[in-house]
Structure 1
């Protein structure tokens, strides 16, 4: 079922080689340079090290570029399942997805523009995003409401003549601090009493320098600002953009969001699995090369059992995620709803568990920035909230299971 074509195997092997030869030798120093800027939350001074453009150009030259996009004309024509294997390999590195132009939120935003954007929107925004010339932001989560229920959204996108007027406040807008961020996809409520509650939200393209758009601050994750990418809070105060900036038309926000999130969750989960594999390797190497009480650390206590538990958990998560990708490719997103929710619960939790084990074996080093473990841990814990918290996905799974037996999760009146 999960056998790769010769072409997909070629991409996978070349991706592995690129990461081993080009990224791994410089990654520690790369992030050390980023952290040495010591600019805190002052995103106006954030910059990427010059090495990034060199790596991106090398990746382009080898066609290891936009591999997430199944469209052969714009990406590399790989299926969701085929790209899933590449996402796992790139997940071993905090830098690799950026180098291959396959990083969130840009990959999801590019897929939205490819599937739903007008020709004008594609020319203005998709083309430079695909070229890696600019970055983008996705604004959905709001500080004032429980965003796990997207119908709570208070931000508005109201039509006035030939313009859309935007008001609201968003946060955890990933990529907002990037010096190359040029465009925002803003999801908001577009009131229309003639439509049901899932057709009253829209996605709107907003150039980041539009009057009324104000970046309020960057938000640290466990004390780290994730510079120079960043996750920010941004306000929209009577922002006016042309009515042509609706993506797919007014009221299409939820439909577009579902199309965006399906493949994106595969990408996130497979990157988690790659990060978990890397964490397990680091755990074993550290544990077998340091001794305490006359034994290798890994042979003390229940550490060997933890290695076995990690292997089982990682392999289970990988198989479930590949199955979800297979169903998406063959039957479509709607047929894979249970699996898409399941992997979103499982993969970040597995990564969180394995990283925690690896941190413990590393001792003090495990909570420093000398290894990628703290970055992986922040990734895992954040993903248990991002794109829907665990509880929402478990609720979806139980709803679908009850429906198979003719029951509803709704309370009887």
Structure 2
């Protein structure tokens, strides 16, 4: 059973999924391995993720390992209806996702995905795990573990663990090097600017771009915005990250100051109300507001609506213009949701190749190791991270050095000095 917009779109979805697959050689190798070893044979996996072509190739890989997978969308605006149809019709997954579904439909779809009675869960923002713990406690006993792939979701999981609320082990796939160093930095860095350019057709060279948050996503954005000729201003609450931004040559200011002269604002913090009413009231005419944090809470959209005397929806695709009392106009992209997935196509497949390889191998590891894991947040085993990097380098025909026996002995011994 599935709930998708149009099953007739399956043919075009297959073409797009196969196109993405060409840039995902690591996941393809893992799929071949899974098909031979069947590490997930008979396991039921419920996933709440962006329904994109790259995600489809992860689902195919889990299925090759023997899993039965149900999938709900983690963001209504990121769902690709043809991909959802292809997964349901051609690949045999249960898919509950429609582009632009409302809030009630969003949660209904997560409930439907959970009807599989999952052994494992894959989450993107912790909404599925949250729902399990608050409303579907009848299913908790069967869940052996799961994976979370976003900074926002990992923050929520750690809070659940601190309060003793988390009932099964969750692995923070987001925190592994081959995820956050590449997906967050290079994927978000490129795809966010792609979404802004598609939505506005603005020239970024010469603009002042204010980036709220200097984690891996913020660093990637800052690097690429500077490369396009923008003046980059960073806002931060963490003094270490702020210092890092300064030493990389970026201006650092409080949002109270940056809001007055920024041309484009991008939030990537994982927290709420990063851009508030007082900031919006001080912005210059034509300022562009975009969010690449997981949830639509980083820009206070309600405060923006309260300030506006008129709203011109859809002045461009995924761009709404809010007119203030003095005539100034602020442009909100993608309703304050993930601009890189709503206004563009998300991360390039070559980046998601590593993130989803981490997910697939971690699922196989959880199927074996879950009994010995506490109900807490766990790191991805280092050997999985290393294997994914090794496979990616091999797919790029890049070789690296290995330690000689003498070097290995030197690293093992504390007796050898200078």
Could you say whether these structures have the same fold, taking a TM-score greater than 0.5 normalized by the shorter chain as the test?
Answer: no
The alignment's TM-score, normalised by the length of structure 2, stands at: 0.27
Higher helix share: 1
The alignment's TM-score, normalised by the length of structure 1, stands at: 0.27
